[in-house]
Structure 1
Amino acid sequence: MSYHQRLSLLILVDSAIVLTSIFFSRFLLEADLHVITLPLVVSSITLLLSHHVFSMIYKLYKKAWEYASIGELVCIFKAITLSVVSAAFIQEIIVQDIYVRLLAVTWMLHILLIGGSRFCWRIVRDIYIKKDVNKKRTLIVGAGSAGMMVVRQLIKSHDAELLPVAFIDDNTNIQHLDILGVPVVGGIDQIEKAVADLHIDNIVIAIPSLGKKELNNIFRECAKTSAKTQILPMLEDIVTGKLSVNQFRDVQVEDLLGREPIELDIDSISEYITQKRVLVTGAGGSIGSEICRQITRFNPSQLILLGHGENSIYSIEMELRDRCGLTDIKFMTEIADIQDSVKMMSIMNKYRPHVVYHAAAHKHVPLMERNPEEAVKNNVIGTMNVAKAASKFGVGTFVMISTDKAVNPTSVMGATKRLAEMIIQHMDKSSETKFVAVRFGNVLGSRGSVIPRFKQQIEKGGPVSVTHPDMIRYFMTIPEASRLVIQAGALARGGEVFVLDMGDPVKIVDLAKNLIKLSGNSVDDIEIVFTGVRPGEKLFEELLQVNEIEEQQVYPKIYIGKSADLYIEEIRKMINNYSTLDGVILREQLLNLANGNMITTSKKLISIG
């Protein structure tokens, strides 16, 4: 039906209702249809005309009545009341009298018939939707404004695959009530029972203000069921039109870390990055590329992308150019190996960066156990090369990315990263450059991390391999890690090791179970097998050594480690001799040196405490 046909039909129906209301009211009061007086005719004409006028004013002829709610009812009330008041005003002018009883009964009939004629469209539509057996029965967690918005949108959309069946909400004042025709069946602890009793296929979490810990608690309850769990998009994505209310996203493992993400101090970061030259080593890697993305928000004058792999550097360059096409940021690329000290000097001299983020490193624990000499070349010598070049050519701030595996290391990778920390802390004592390190745990989604591996195994139908049932790790997201690195540069005074408060550590086996459930499977469908702890691995990781712990946060969720003792002469000897050592002996020396256990007469202890 076209708009004009619909308008004509509504005007015709309303005209019949208006005239029926006033004449039937007269019949109820007088019981005599033959008593048609001039005032009655004038009142009828006035009521009819004023009804159409106020209906136009309140847009009653433009509303989609199949989606009518309280707002539309209020508009009907206003239009009819003003129409009756207009009729009363004309009666007073013409006959100097107002037929109060007649107008009162007319007003009531008018509202009843107009409201009924409109809302019957909504009733018919609701009945049609509730009989659609092809829709997935859905439980909405959260009966607040967002939850009601979700239900209203699902009811409104013919194409929606989900049928709202019930709400879950911890607010006891609304439990056992109906909201938009959907019952509130209980609190969070009733999710498992509600899914079983109501034959729920999907669960939608619709609480935008939900914190990470609360979301984790809700997901634990949802995970006890076989229903697929999804979550409402961020409100800013809905408001900006990127996503609609009914475009739910799957719950990601990042949502379940149990803490709120770190927020940046925009002013302090802008001060040292905006319109400055910034160089990122390992710019094509998971962390390096995300650092580059975050940095572009602060409009540096030049961003130098340095990496060893041409494909990864090309990819991040193209992505940043597309993203920042309208800005005046100059993107420069350098394909280089940080083990090449001459090349590092040349690049630093060429660009003279104000800030360097050193993200290039070998990070795979098992691989470095088998190739300790490569770990030394890249993580230790490579860091020294970049740091020396930065110091020589006047870099203002040098931020090195380290790892929690550098604390009391048991692996070659952790030991070499601890030695790299010692090198830059030592250099900070004699250089104008501020050298700092940033230490964090496992990064979700980074290349070679456990999450992509688990996902691949789940896609193949399992089994999912976990090293040990008691293995625990600290986790953070790639954006979190990158923000910490950038914020550390703003906090840097020189020589610090910054550590992110990553909340409670997570059991790897629990992470595997969550991923299996998030993928729509159950732990009965996909087996988890334990393969044993690999060489160099610990069951748990620490963020700081006992003598490094500084209890007070220097920034929300960021701690700073106390300065430690450095064994620089021993590191230099190891660098000079590592290529002549057997792999087993080299590994032993690295671990002893990183843990401060190499006691020799030639050792020179340099304390920065």
Structure 2
Amino acid sequence: MLSELWRSLRSKSWWVDLPLLALAWWAAFWLRFNLTVPQPYWDQALQTTPVALACMAAGLLAARVPRQSWRHVSLADLRHLAAGVALGAVLTAALVLGLRINGFPRSVLVIGALLALLLLAGARAAWRSLTEYTRTQARPTASAQPLLIVGTIDEADQALRTLKGVAGWQVVGIVSPHAQDVGRTLQGVRVLGGVAALDEVARGQHAATALLASAPGTPLRREVMLRWSGAGLNLLTLPTADELLAPGAAASLRQVRLEDLLGRTPVQLDAQGLSGLFSGQTVLVTGAGGSIGAELCRQVARFGVAKLVCVDVSEFATYRLEQALQRSFPQMRGVYYTANVREAERLRAIAFEHRPSVVLHAAAYKHVPLMETGNEIEALRTNVLGTLNAARVAGEVGAARFVLISTDKAVNPTNVMGASKRLAEQVVQAVAARHAATRYVSVRFGNVLGSSGSVVPLFTAQIAQGGPVTVTHPDIVRYFMTIPEAAQLVLQAGLMGQSGQIFVLDMGEPVKIAELARLLIRMSGKTEAEVPIAFTGLRPGEKLYEELLADDETTEPTPHPKLRVAKVAPPADEVAETVEAWLAAAGGAPDAAVLRGWLVERVPEYQARPVRF
């Protein structure tokens, strides 16, 4: 406290503030007496100047005004300044009136306070304006690119403030969705037109780049992306909070990406609870080299985990993850294993060596057509037996939490992959009943945008080859979420879930795959005439839509707006032992019909045939 007071007293702002305060005090007398101060009152002004300066200085100190940065002064700083001046004025009035100076003009007290506020605020505003002008003039204007901002007045205002720290751009106009905004001026920049006239405005201002200032998923952003992507305009956006918090991140504009179309609001995380769960702990992640597993590792590392044990069957994926985590989190202790979750003893040895407090199980086979024909036994052994092994090991080592990454395809499954994940959920619930000290939770969600094996990398590769982009059906829709959002909700569910619960994530609105393909084509700068879309027909086991069953009849709400708990029947007795015994006896190539028949017995809602629409 004393050190802060000493720094405030040593502030260079006093060299300006004190003369301005004295000037305000004298000018108050000057104005009070119509620009001619009689000698007796001039003597009063000089006599009370030290009192006024001391009281005003005390008020400014109490409001911490001397610690403000003039270069970045804001409205909040000016409010503190006003509070400090008001306090100083009250102190000045108390002391001056206490001196009982004969005939002292009391109106000077009010005038002096107003002048002091005006002069001090004006000095700060002038300094900020001068520094911003100097900084602008110092930039090479020849290399600055013209930029249009697309958004409402409020969104454009925030974007303009952010752009002050980003070099290389000159804002030449604003495009607003509201017709009444056209012609208005914001921070010296004019609103030139509406969204429908974006192309015309861009040509008129010789601008090839537009900044989308609206939030991801808003109708305005969707309209601009669908209408103007690939139409000769380079669409940029501001980085998200997660991107700015990433190690080595810088405040700069980035290209719009497909996830900006989804409309996903930021996940509300219980940061304090998650820090308590992960900080200083050991966490084991299976399938750590995959898209979801790798993001889980990054999110866990952000919460200060002491040791992160990463397990994946792929040597290259494990190596790539190791390099990425060492670069982003050099202080974290990471341990990396190439291991298969189907091998219980190997998994048990790793777990007992490190004794994790949390196990996140993301290892799985997830490609529906590939698992549907010829690889059914592989789906069962990895997705079901691997889950059983991981769940048992978590209980044996006394882990506090176990989280299974499940899928929307486990709801009324029409394919082996979905049925295997539903059976994995049952296995987790069965193991949960035998290890009371460990909380077992499963989390279902839909497609993750850009994950390995998803449609986006496939479409991107097809576009690069000149097409065609293959879509199975013109009406097929899927739910999508971003990889960071999926990982964050998995962690949140693991924190708040009770043992045996299955969580369903709010996936927002479904997206037509054909629309996704068209947008990717346009974002690549091509047209559908250059890269056609070909409809190939539904594949075995594929649905036109996926069922999340996130309604009031089949799920229950939770305190988190994006998480609900599925109402499911309890698993059959001895399901874990039954699964283990059958898979052990199945051999390397069991009859497909026999396998599906057995799977129907275990998962009655499974329809063991391709669904036709």
TM-score (norm 2): 0.68
Shift of 1:283: 1.1
| Equivalent residue for 1:184, pick from 183, 191, 203 | 191
Give the Cα separation in 1 of the matches to 2:440 and 2:244: 42
- Counterpart of 1:427 (choices 428, 431, 450) is 431
One-letter amino acid of the counterpart of residue 350, structure 1: E
Cα deviation digits, residues 459-518 of structure 1 (max 9, x gap): 222221111111111111111111111111111210111121110011111111111222
Deviation at 1:435, TM superposition (A): 1.0
1:352 counterpart residue number = 355
Distance in 2 between residues matched to 1:552 and 1:531, nearest whole Å: 39
Which SS does the other structure have where 1:400 is aligned?
strand
- Spell out, residue by residue over 1:322-351, the C-alpha distance to the aligned partner (whole angstroms, 9 max, x if none): 32223xx43222221111122222222222
CA 1:365–1:597: 2 relative to 1, 3 Å: closer
SS at match of 1:204: strand
Residue in 2 aligned with 1:549? 554
Residue 271 (structure 1) aligned with residue 276 (structure 2):
yes
For residue 257 of structure 2, what is the aligned residue in structure 1?
Answer: 252
* Number of the residue aligned with 2:492: 487
Cα distance in 2 between the residues matched to 1:235 and 1:303: 24
- Residue segments in structure 1 that go unaligned for 5+ positions in a row: 1-62, 64-117, 600-609
The CA deviation string for residues 165-194 of structure 1, in whole angstroms up to 9 with x for no partner, is 542124555412456776423333443554
Q: Report the secondary structure of 1:292's partner residue.
A: helix
Worse overlay, 288-297 or 342-351: 342-351
Instruction: Say if 1:409 and 1:591, in contact at 8 Å, map to a contact too.
Output: no
CA-to-aligned-CA distance 1:147-206 (integer Å, 9 cap, x gap)? 54588899xx7xx5x775542124555412456776423333443554577776332223
Amino acid paired to 1:271 = G
User: Is 1:453 the counterpart of 2:458 in the alignment?
Assistant: yes
In the alignment, the residues of structure 2 paired with residue 272 and residue 561 of structure 1 have an alpha-carbon distance, to the nearest angstrom, of: 24
Helix, strand or coil for the counterpart of 2:487?
helix
In the alignment, structure 1 residue 366 sits paired with structure 2 residue 369: yes
Residue 311 of structure 2 is matched in structure 1 by 306
- Residue of structure 2 aligned with 1:215, choices 207, 213, 221: 221
Deviation string 1:379-411 (CA, Å, 9 cap, x unpaired) is: 111111111222222222110101111111111
Query: Could you say if the C-alpha distance between residues 150 and 194 of structure 1 is closer, same or farther in structure 2, counting changes exceeding 3 Å?
Result: farther
Deviations 1:73-131 (A, max 9, x none): xxxxxxxxxxxxxxxxxxxxxxxxxxxxxxxxxxxxxxxxxxxxx9xx99xx9xx97xx
Q: Is the 8 A contact 1:364 1:448 kept in 2?
A: yes
Instruction: Determine what percentage of the aligned residue pairs are the same residue.
Output: 39
CA contact (8 A) 2:174 2:189 kept: yes
Matched AA of 1:414: G
Q: Within the alignment, does 1:524 sit opposite 2:536 as a pair? A: no
Pairing 1:333–2:350 present: no
Looking at structure 2, the residues matched to 507 and 140 of structure 1 have their Cα atoms a distance apart, in angstroms, of 29
Structure with max Cα Rg: 1
Contact 2:216 2:260 in 1 (8 A): no
| Post-superposition offset of 1:319 | 2.4
The partner residue of 1:578 within 571, 586, 591 is: 586
- CA distance in 2: counterparts of 1:556 and 1:165, whole angstroms: 40
- Residues 1:140 and 2:144 aligned together: no
Contact 1:548 1:564 in 2 (8 A): no
8 A contact 2:449–2:483 mirrored in 1: yes
Gaps in structure 2 of 5+ consecutive residues: 1-70, 72-129, 609-613
| Residues 415 and 607, structure 2, Cα contact 8 Å, conserved in 1 | no
Q: Distance in 2 between matches of 1:396 and 1:147?
A: 44
Q: Could you tell me how far 1:441 is from its partner in structure 2?
A: 0.7
- Tell me which residue corresponds to 1:595: 604
Cα pair 2:384 2:423 within 8 Å, conserved? yes
1:512 equivalent to 2:517? Answer: yes
Contact 2:410/2:419 (8 A) holds in 1: yes
Provide the rounded CA distance (Å) in 2 between the counterparts of 1:153 and 1:331.
Answer: 36
Q: Is the 8 A contact 2:146 2:208 kept in 1?
A: yes
Instruction: Identify if the C-alpha distance between structure 1 residues 442 and 592 changes in structure 2 by more than 3 Å, giving closer, same or farther.
Output: farther
Secondary structure at the counterpart of residue 555 of structure 1: coil
Tell me how far apart the structure 1 counterparts of residues 182 and 163 of structure 2 sit (CA, whole Å). 17
Contact 1:547–1:562, Cα closer than 8 Å, also in 2 = no
Aligned residue identity for 2:382 = N
Q: Is the CA contact (8 Å cut-off) linking 1:408 and 1:545 kept in structure 2?
A: no
**Matched residue type, 2:400:** G
State the partner residue of 1:31.
none
Asked if 2 retains the 8 angstrom alpha-carbon contact of 1:345 and 1:389, the reply is yes
In 2: Cα distance, 1:365 partner to 1:239 partner: 35
Structure-1 residue corresponding to 2:298: 293
Q: Would the aligned equivalents of 2:217 and 2:262 in 1 still touch at CA under 8 Å? A: no
Query: Which deviations, in whole Å up to 9, do the C-alpha atoms of 1:535-572 show, x marking residues without a partner?
Result: 11111001138897224233121111123242354645
Question: Are the structure 2 counterparts of residues 200 and 428 from structure 1 closer, same or farther at C-alpha, using a change threshold of 3 Å?
Answer: same
Change over 3 Å in CA distance of 1:591–1:507 after alignment to 2:
farther
Q: What corresponds to 2:238 in structure 1? A: 232
Describe the superposition over 1:223-263 as per-residue Cα deviations: whole angstroms up to 9, x where unpaired.
Answer: 4944232223458978999545xx53111011111220312
Instruction: State the aligned residue count.
Output: 465
TM-score by length of 1: 0.68
Distance 1:200 1:319, change over 3 A: closer
Distance between the aligned counterparts of 1:529 and 1:597, measured in 2? 30
* Contact kept in structure 2, 1:498 and 1:560, CA below 8 Å: yes
Q: CA deviation at 1:449?
A: 1.1
Q: Give the deviation of 1:307 after TM superposition.
A: 1.5
Contact 2:342–2:381 (CA under 8 A) maintained in structure 1: yes
Q: Which residue of 2 aligns with 1:97?
A: none
Distance 2:607 2:585 in 1: 15
Letter in 2 for 1:575: L
1:357-384 superposed Cα distances (whole Å, 9 cap, x missing partner)? 0011111111111210111111111111
Q: Is the 8 A contact 1:262 1:556 kept in 2?
A: no
Tell me whether 546-555 or 378-387 shows the greater mean CA deviation. Answer: 546-555
Query: Is the Cα–Cα contact under 8 Å of residues 146 and 171 in structure 2 kept in the other structure?
Result: yes
Task: Tell which deviates more after alignment, 196-205 or 491-500.
Answer: 196-205
Deviates more, 1:162-171 or 1:534-543: 162-171
Q: For the structure 1 residues 151 and 343, does the alpha-carbon distance in structure 2 shift closer, same or farther, using more than 3 Å as the test?
A: closer
- Give the letter for the 1:582 counterpart: D
- Inter-CA distance 235–389: structure 2 relative to 1 (3 Å threshold): closer
